[in-house]
Structures are given as structure tokens and as C-alpha cells.
């Protein structure tokens, strides 16, 4: 049997509520691996899909979400991350940067101590913990997340006050991670990837990028729930740039609203990534702010609930102006 997927078409104040947020949809595109089957009224979407598309996301209320996407500021305490590597190795400077991002509007500070840029090799857990050790006390009182694949690093971060885990392996790297998070009742971002950071950009391949990513994330969400993680403790990330070429990334960005059919909040992380320069004029990393903002606003228009960015004040400002000019938002 041919599986049908239902991508909500966001409308201006008409139709059914999308994911309990400010947007609505009156129609949905029927998508199959053979192509689009056209549009149908939202009320004709099958009941299971309709429930996942419309029900509120209680995890967002837990983090005090409003009509705008939550902004997650990136803080890498690494020497080799693709954009900010080497800038925050000093714990004092890193702590100051975290507090500044918080003051400028970041809802989360996403702290990472292992680079997962294309070509990066795995860092031993002990080295990752050593990079974090001096910073953790400086994060007290902030709302922060830990960007890691390793259970031991997750455990140390949770003990220091992290409120969210962001795992680029979607709990597939370390078998101890899922039981740890299920027992701790801590929410987690499950990110799609193909391959490992060391190999992921060598020859990424998809039969249908959007639907392949949807199916993969659906499977990881089911596995996380089967392992004891609560359904409302999961966030999904399509993993822009993680085992994907330009055409794959664009297919995901164009079809983002389909991911609401997973029934969980969606995080988009495309800040300063290479797809920007490939579409534009081959700009270096530090010159990709306009493209980063464009993708962030495209994500917001698709109903994405979290944006992971390097440029916090610029993104916050752009979102405020976008909301003020949007007919569907207060």
C-alpha cells in the first residue's frame, strides 16, 4: 500500500489550529513517494494524522513559549567548530557569552564541547567533560541545554542544571543515553543524520529526502518512547547539513510543515551553514548572517517552534519584526 503523508498549508486565520500554536491550516497537501496528489480540506485528513497535526505541544508550555519560536543560542567550547571554534575555550569568556546571549533574548544556551562539523572525528568523553568542567558553574541560573552524544556528558550536564539534551545522533550513539534520560524525565532533541560527522558529507543519498527524513524521525521517536521517554519530552530536528547535499536541504526547508505530522515540536538549526553560501555567492562563515535570518524566518513561517542560531540578537529582532508584520500573529 502506498503511504500518504499530509503537509499542512498554513493559512491566514482560517481552518484548524496547527500544533496548538498561532497558525492554522484549512488545506493539506497529500504527498507520496510518487509525488504530490494535490490538496484536500483539512477536515478530510485521516484522524491519526489530524490529531498529530493539531494537538498542542505541552513541552513548549513547560519552557514558557509564546507565539514566536524559542531561540536557542549556540555556545561551542571547542577549538574546531565550523563557525565559532576557538572563541569560547576560556571558561570565563564562555560564561560571559552565555549570559550575554540570555540577556539579548535567547531562551536556551545550547552548550557543546565536541565538534560535529563535517569531517570531525569523535572526541573521547573525558576530553569533552574536561572542556565543560570550568564552564558549568558559570551557567547557574541560566536555561541551558547540552549538545552531546554521550551519556556520561549528559549526566554531568544534568547534574549541573541543564534542562534539555540536544543529541545529533538521536540517541543512537550511546546505548546508555536513552535509559538515563527516561529515568531523569529530561526532554531531548532527536536530530536526523546520515552517517557520522566524519563521513556524513562524503556521498549522502536519499530516495525522497523529505519523506525519508520524516520516516527516520518517526522511527526514532517511537524507539525513544519504547525506551521509556515520555511522548511530550521529545523535539525533532531535520538535521540541515548533517549527511545532506544542497538539494536534500532545500527539499526539507520547502516541506518543513510536513514534520508537524510527527506530533512533536520542531527545531530548525541552519545558522551559518554551507547551504547559504552555495545558494548565494560562496560567502565565508562569518558573512552568512542575512542567509541565516532568511532561513530562520522561513522556518518561523512554517510553524517551527525552536530556532538554533549563532546570532541571537539579530534573530530576536528579525522575529519581532516578522511577527509585527504577520497578519496571523498578535
Spot the catalytic one: 117, 150, 273, 288: 273
Cα dihedral 285→289→292→293 (10° resolution):
180
CB atoms within 10 A of CB 30: 16
The 8-class DSSP code of residue 167 comes to E
Q: Is 7 a known active-site residue?
A: no
Q: Are 299 and 292 spatial neighbours (Cβ–Cβ below 8 Å)? A: no
Contact 243, 201 (CB under 8 A): yes
Residue 308 among the catalytic residues: yes
Q: Report the alpha-carbon distance of residue 262 to residue 252 in Å, rounded.
A: 14
| CB contact burial 60-98 (16+ within 10 A = b; e otherwise) | beebebeebbbbbbbbbbbeebbbbbebbbebeebbebb
Residues sharing a CB contact under 8 Å with residue 214, sequence separation 6 or more, in sequence order: 5, 258, 259, 261, 262
**CA–CA gap between residue 79 and residue 83 (Å, rounded):** 10
Which residues does the annotation mark as catalytic?
A: 273, 308
Amino acid at each position: 500500500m502506498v503511504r500518504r503523508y499530509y503537509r499542512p498549508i498554513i493559512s491566514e486565520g482560517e481552518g484548524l489550529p496547527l500544533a496548538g500554536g498561532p497558525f492554522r491550516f484549512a488545506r493539506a497537501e497529500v504527498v507520496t513517494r510518487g509525488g504530490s496528489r494535490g490538496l484536500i480540506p483539512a477536515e478530510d485528513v485521516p484522524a491519526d494524522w489530524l490529531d498529530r497535526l493539531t494537538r498542542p505541544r505541552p513541552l513548549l508550555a513547560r519552557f514558557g513559549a509564546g507565539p514566536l519560536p524559542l531561540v536557542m543560542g549556540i555556545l561551542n567550547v571547542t577549538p574546531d567548530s565550523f563557525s565559532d571554534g576557538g572563541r569560547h575555550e576560556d571558561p570565563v569568556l564562555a560564561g560571559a557569552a552565555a549570559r550575554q546571549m540570555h540577556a539579548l533574548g535567547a531562551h536556551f544556551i545550547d552548550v557543546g564541547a565536541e565538534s560535529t562539523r563535517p569531517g570531525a572525528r569523535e572526541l573521547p568523553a573525558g576530553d569533552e567533560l574536561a572542556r565543560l568542567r570550568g564552564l558549568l558553574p558559570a551557567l547557574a541560573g541560566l536555561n541551558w541545554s547540552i549538545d552531546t552524544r554521550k551519556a556520561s556528558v549528559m549526566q554531568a550536564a544534568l547534574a549541573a542544571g541543564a534542562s534539555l539534551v540536544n543529541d545529533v545522533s538521536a540517541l543512537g550513539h550511546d546505548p546508555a543515553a536513552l535509559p538515563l534520560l527516561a529515568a531523569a524525565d529530561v526532554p531531548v532533541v532527536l536530530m536526523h543524520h546520515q552517517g557520522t560527522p566524519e563521513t556524513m558529507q562524503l556521498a549522502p543519498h536519499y530516495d525522497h529526502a523529505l519523506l525519508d527524513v520524516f520516516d527516520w524521525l518517526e522511527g526514532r521517536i517511537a524507539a525513544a518512547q519504547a525506551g521509556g521517554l515520555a511522548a511530550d519530552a521529545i523535539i525533532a530536528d531535520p538535521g540541515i547539513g548533517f549527511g545532506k547535499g544542497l538539494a536534500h536541504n532545500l527539499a526539507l526547508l520547502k516541506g518543513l510543515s510536513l514534520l508537524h505530522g510527527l506530533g512533536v515540536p520542531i527545531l530548525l538549526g541552519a545558522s551559518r551553514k554551507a547551504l547559504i553560501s552555495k545558494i548565494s555567492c560562496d560567502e565565508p562563515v562569518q558573512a552568512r548572517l542575512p542567509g541565516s535570518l532568511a532561513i530562520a524566518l522561513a522556518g518561523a513561517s512554517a510553524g517551527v517552534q525552536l530556532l538554533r542560531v549563532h546570532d541571537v540578537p539579530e534573530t530576536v529582532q528579525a522575529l519581532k519584526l516578522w511577527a509585527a508584520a504577520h497578519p496571523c500573529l498578535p
